[in-house]
Amino acid sequence: MGNALRFLYGNCCKPTTQEYGYGYGVPTYTDGLSALVHDIYHFETTSQVPEGLGRHVVSSKKAQANWYKKLAEAWKAAKPPPRTPDEAARLVILTLKNHLKADVEGLLAYYGLPSPQALVQTSELLPPSNSHPPQGVKFELQTLPVDAKAVADGDTVTVYVNTVDPREAANLPRDVKLAATQRAKARAVRDYVKADALQKKIVDAGYRVLTGPNNEDILARKYRIRLRGIDAPESSMPFGKEAKDEMTKLVQGKCLRVLVYGEDRYNRYVGDIYCNNKFVQVKYLNSKPLFHIV
């Protein structure tokens, strides 16, 4: 397991009395988050799931092992890893969203973590823009309206941010700004060959000239966003098309607020997305019943 799990296991998972108790094999830890981290780490080293979990869920031990394998991978990929019961519950829900609802809710109950319904009530609203950003947020984006074609699948969305935004303006390369100006002049005299060449230069630099609502040119920076905590099936996989369609419904034509936590190995920005004062990941999770993958 990764260093994050080892750190949390060593610093958070300290039993208050005996390691197992209450007759169900539930670790007697100070909180459910620590117990969950312990069991994920234990599974990584022994491939064993908690004995008492079967009393709370409906699926077999083989299925349970699959859950812990997925949770271990999701926890390792989370940056930062969950630090509160709410964050841990959200990771469980998003990681196991394609499994039986009774199993997901049973797993949460086993660790005493918040239910999906409780999370929706407490987490759906957008953090005020004038408040301190959540722990781990690197920066924030305010996007232009999202095109349907920008939704690659159920967990990846391409967004654009206007370069008049103060953060973008401060980091806009001089040659990109010049290319955008020259492109506008080339189009004005119908020199489309030159204009297309300049557009390619702009695109290669990670920017694009978009058409605004009044047919004006908007120079924007491109960002590929990987939704934090979401592991949706690929488009070619079972429920992949449904996942993409649901995400498209949530963000198409909308301006988004994105809280960026970092980058993944594919150079995508990992973040939380908010739309119309709603947390998109939670809305996405609750847009359809949990699927069961056999």
Q: Which residues are catalytic?
A: 226, 234, 268
Whether the CB-CB separation of 21 and 28 falls below 8 Å is answered with yes
Sequence-ordered list of residues with C-beta below 8 angstroms from that of 213, at least 6 positions apart, any chain = none
d(CA 121, CA 114): 11
* Per-position b or e across 95-121, b if 16+ CB within 10 A of its CB: bbbbbbeebbbbbbebbebbebeebbe
d(CA 198, CA 26): 63
Residue type (1 letter), 21: G
Q: With H, G, I as helix, E, B as strand and everything else as coil, classify residue 3.
A: helix
Nearest to 282, CA basis, from 105, 94, 112, 141: 94
Backbone dihedral angles phi then psi of residue 76, each to the nearest 5 degrees:
-65, -35
**Cα–chain-centroid distance for residue 135?**
15
